Amino acid sequence: MVQDALAYNDSPVKSSHLEMIEALFAENGLKEASVSFDRTGRVELKGSYEDMRGVNLAFSLAQTVVGVKWVSPVTPENIKVKEWEKKLSSLFPTKEQEIVPPFLESTSPGVIDNKYAIVVGVSKFKEQRITPLEYADDDAQAFYDFIVNSEGGNFKRENVFLLMNEKATRENIISAFENVKSKAKENDLVILYFSTHGTPPGPFGGVHMVTYDSVVKPRQAIWETSITDEMLKEFISSLRSKRLIVVMDACYSNGAYKQVPGFLPPGGKSLGADEEEGFGNSKAYMAKRILGAKDIVLEDEDITKSASKGGWGKVLFSASDAGEKSWESDTLKHSFFTYYFMDGLKKYGDIKQAFEYAKPKVTSGVRKEKDAEQHPQVVADRKEWDIAIK
């Protein structure tokens, strides 16, 4: 029997919600799964699960009823086949497997030899119920045109993967990751650029990049068919290049999925159902889950003061802060962040000054045109992070 929720005065979750969730579990083949209240009144997964896919499905179904905020991120203990068991052999490479020694992060790279980039922009989606974006493909095209121009980044065209709309499939993006990872060496520069939708927060809090062929039904499929933070982290951690710039200009909002019946949870904003609710990535999230840096350098530590144009390292820009949307401008015909960040790159040629130039313009522009808040952010794995792209 589902326990009573009367003791949790601040929780909007009721016993009826738990009953709805368990009914959904039964309908979706999770015969041994159940839920209860945790000590704060959130929904906590209980019972038994075949594997992590079943757990992800359970998280997804629970979130459709009460929203992300009111589902505990704690993974249930009774999982019959754990992911670590599946991947155990990969921790023990055989003699035939090449073991790449870790690079000495204290050793600065030499002069840039080659430059590589993956530029992704998705305005139209195969799943027509995902709300299209107006200018994401235009953003990607403009960014590509800038970095291959001799007056911009002067990247060789054959070293840049431009993936827009139908070409921006999950498989093509992963293939581009592998291609660049195999070619880029220690002294090279690599740029990743994304302009697309973000997913709602996943079962464990991750917000991922939606591809052209991302799937929205069943609900957990959106995380399984997008570019996940684990994929980004794996690419970043295994990249040999010591100069990496990641730009995530993703529109994080429930509004992208409002046309998908049953995708958003019912109820008020407290349960995460507001169509205009934004998600975004916090600095701490980007540092730990994507950049993979232990001693991350945050913007509020005055990294801009110590940065120099000859810097290097792994740098990640996000167009908006946690809880915010990344807005497109009908006046600029681009996203606010991409437009002003590129404008800054054209003026100054290095990423520090470009970001310093863009950030206040984005914030003021969004306030004026959209009456909303948007605060671009940056994290890096070292203080001397400024990189000249030309």
Which CATH number fits the domain that encloses residue 45?
Answer: 3.30.1340
Average pLDDT for the chain: 85
DSSP string of 85-133, one letter each residue: HHTGGGGS--TTS--PPPP-TTSPP-S---EEEEEEE-SS-SSTTSPPP
Same domain, 306 and 354: yes
User: Per-residue pLDDT tens for 179-207?
Assistant: 999 999 999 999 999 999 999 887 777 78
Let me know if residue 8 belongs to a domain.
no
pLDDT at position 362 over 90: yes
Same-domain status, 137 and 64: no
Instruction: Tell me, yes or no, whether 30 lies in a domain.
Output: yes
Residues 235 and 334 in one domain: yes
3-state helix, strand, coil in the chain (%, to 5): 35, 20, 45
Residues 67 and 124 grouped into a single domain: no
User: Looking at 62, 82, 102, which one is the last position of a domain?
Assistant: 82
Same domain for 131 and 61?
no
- 4 falls within a domain: no
Residue 94: per-residue pLDDT: 42
Kindly report the CA angle at 337 between 332 and 342, in degrees rounded to 5? 80
User: Are 361 and 260 found together in one domain?
Assistant: yes
Report the C-alpha gap between 192 and 120 in whole angstroms: 8
293 and 360 housed in the same domain: yes
- Per-residue model confidence as pLDDT tens digits over 328-348: 999 999 999 999 999 999 999
Q: At what angle do helices 336-348 and 136-148 cross, to 10 degrees?
A: 10
Q: What is the pLDDT of residue 1?
A: 37
| pTM of the predicted structure, to 2 decimals | 0.84
pLDDT tens digits, residue range 280-299? 888 878 887 888 765 555 45
For 73-123, the pLDDT digits (tens) are 888 888 776 544 444 444 444 444 443 444 434 588 999 999 999 999 999
Judgement on whether residues 64 and 126 belong to the same structural domain of the protein: no
Domain enclosing residue 48, as ranges: 15-82
Show which of 82, 107, 140 is a domain's final residue.
Answer: 82
Q: Is the pLDDT of residue 301 over 80?
A: no
User: Could you tell me if 148 and 233 lie in one domain?
Assistant: yes
Residue 119 belongs to a domain: yes
Whether 162 and 240 share a structural domain:
yes
Do 376 and 305 share a structural domain?
yes
Is pLDDT at 274 greater than 90 in this prediction?
Answer: no
- SS3 letters across 160-215: EEEEEHHHCCHHHHHHHHHHHHHHCCCCCEEEEEEEEEECCCCCCCCCCECCCCCC
**Is residue 162 assigned to a domain?**
yes
Q: What local confidence, expressed as pLDDT, does residue 365 receive?
A: 97
State residue 128's pLDDT score.
Answer: 92
In eight-state DSSP terms, residue 252 is -
Residues 332 and 198 in one domain: yes
The number of folded domains in the chain is 2
Q: Express each pLDDT in 53-79 by its tens digit.
A: 888 889 989 988 888 889 988 888 887
In this prediction, residue 267 carries a pLDDT of: 60
Q: Nearest to residue 299, comparing CAs of 312, 315, 313?
A: 315
